[in-house]
């Protein structure tokens, strides 16, 4: 368990823009109270000094916003839509998503599960824009936006593109009408897609701890070092957090579409069978 975070000012803006991402990651790893408290205290405690400094961890109080009548079931991702609403991906329901209004204490079922043209099978990578949200359906290789059209829970689906690759897992919109994707790739950790979902270029070498691990086939390492991508509202900053190990990377997206590494934390690498890619317990 991490008891302290050492943060520098050049990382602060990236952190502030990705609070929903860390909440989602924390929920999936079942350590959300500690992680969210740590990050929020980090935001509040950083000063204007340019040198690195130690940030203390303090306790936070919380309250239950939704009661037992507002059940959200088993979820895999969460994203904040505004100050009163959130959306979650539901894995054990007839609907793919649930929209939570924690002021009115109401939930809305959105998006059907199924093989139909406007239905979903395995959505990943929630991103919010306006009064709606977007996801990538891995099983259908399709990126879609769900527009919430009224206060009565009504909605409509807009399919933006289908990809020609089965390797993508998470797709997030960035600046200049492009997308950043993470998935299982042979050579790259992240790839850039155009507005139609077509491949433009790859970025970043797949992580490795030493020269021996570097010799492990790229597809094996890529499966082990899967992570989630979050993008700031401006589309100019990207964070990629690896779920196996303790690895996190912060990038800026340049005007010409390059992904520039700004900072990183590589505290621990994955422990796994380097022949088959199976993670050790």
- What would the pLDDT profile of 132-159 be if each residue is shown by its tens digit? 999 999 999 999 999 998 777 789 999 9
Token reading at 33: 């109270």
What rounded mean pLDDT belongs to the chain? Answer: 79
Residue 27 reports pLDDT greater than 60:
no
Please report how many Cα atoms fall inside a 13 Å half-sphere around the Cα of residue 108, on the Cβ side.
Answer: 18
Q: Which of the 8 DSSP states describes residue 271? A: -
Residue 82 reports pLDDT greater than 60:
yes
Token reading at 13: 């803006």
Token reading at 63: 């309250």
CA distance 33 to 23: 9
Residue 165 reports pLDDT greater than 50:
yes
Across residues 189-215, what is the average pLDDT? 93
Q: How confident is the model at residue 106 (pLDDT cuts 50, 70, 90)?
A: confident
CA distance 217 to 33: 37
Give the pLDDT confidence score for residue 69 in this predicted structure.
60
Q: How confident is the model at residue 49 (pLDDT cuts 50, 70, 90)?
A: very low
Closest residue by Cα to residue 2 from 29, 26, 33, 38: 38
Quick one: what percent of the chain has pLDDT higher than 70?
76
Least confident among 92-96, 180-184, 185-189: 92-96
Backbone angles phi, psi at 196, to 5 degrees: -100, 5
Residue with tokens 């979903």: 120
Q: At what angle do helices 32-45 and 9-17 cross, to 10 degrees?
A: 130
Give the pLDDT confidence score for residue 72 in this predicted structure.
64
E strands, 41-94, where?
53-55, 75-80, 85-90
CA distance 2 to 56: 12
Give the pLDDT confidence score for residue 8 in this predicted structure.
36
CA distance 41 to 35: 10
Token reading at 206: 């797949």
Give the pLDDT confidence score for residue 168 in this predicted structure.
93
Max CA separation in the chain (angstroms):
57
Q: Does residue 135 contact residue 126 with C-beta atoms inside 8 Å?
A: yes
CA 212, chain centre distance (Å):
30
Give the pLDDT confidence score for residue 152 in this predicted structure.
76
Give the pLDDT confidence score for residue 70 in this predicted structure.
60
Least confident among 7-21, 86-100, 227-241, 246-260: 7-21
Across residues 8-32, what is the average pLDDT? 41
Backbone angles phi, psi at 167, to 5 degrees: -95, -20
Q: Is 64 exposed, middle or buried, given 0-12, 13-18 or 19+ CB atoms closer than 10 A?
A: exposed
Give the pLDDT confidence score for residue 281 in this predicted structure.
62
């Amino acid at each position: 368990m991490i008891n302290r975070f050492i943060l520098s000012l050049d990382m602060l803006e990236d952190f502030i823009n990705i609070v929903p991402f860390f909440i989602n990651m924390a929920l999936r790893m079942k350590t959300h109270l500690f992680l969210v408290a740590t990050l929020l205290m980090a935001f509040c405690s950083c000063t204007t000094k340019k040198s690195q400094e130690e940030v203390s961890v303090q306790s936070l109080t919380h309250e239950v916003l939704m009661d037992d009548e507002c059940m959200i079931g088993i979820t895999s991702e969460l994203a904040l839509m505004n100050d009163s609403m959130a959306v979650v991906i539901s894995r054990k329901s007839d609907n793919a998503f649930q929209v939570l209004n924690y002021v009115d204490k109401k939930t809305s079922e959105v998006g059907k599960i199924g093989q139909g043209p406007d239905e979903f099978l395995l959505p990943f990578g929630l991103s919010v824009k306006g009064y709606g949200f977007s996801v990538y359906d891995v099983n259908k290789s399709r990126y879609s936006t769900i527009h919430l059209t009224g206060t009565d829970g009504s909605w409509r689906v807009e399919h933006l593109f289908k990809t020609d690759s089965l390797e993508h897992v998470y797709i997030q919109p960035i600046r200049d009408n492009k997308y950043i994707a993470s998935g299982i790739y042979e050579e790259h950790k992240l790839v850039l897609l155009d507005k139609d979902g077509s491949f433009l270029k790859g970025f970043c070498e797949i992580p490795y701890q030493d020269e021996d691990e570097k010799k492990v086939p790229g597809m094996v390492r890529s499966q082990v070092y899967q992570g989630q991508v979050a993008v700031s509202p401006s589309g100019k900053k990207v964070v990629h957090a690896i779920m196996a190990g303790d690895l996190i990377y912060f990038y800026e997206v340049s005007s010409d579409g390059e992904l520039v590494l700004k900072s990183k934390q590589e505290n621990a690498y994955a422990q796994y069978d380097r022949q088959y890619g199976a993670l050790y317990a």
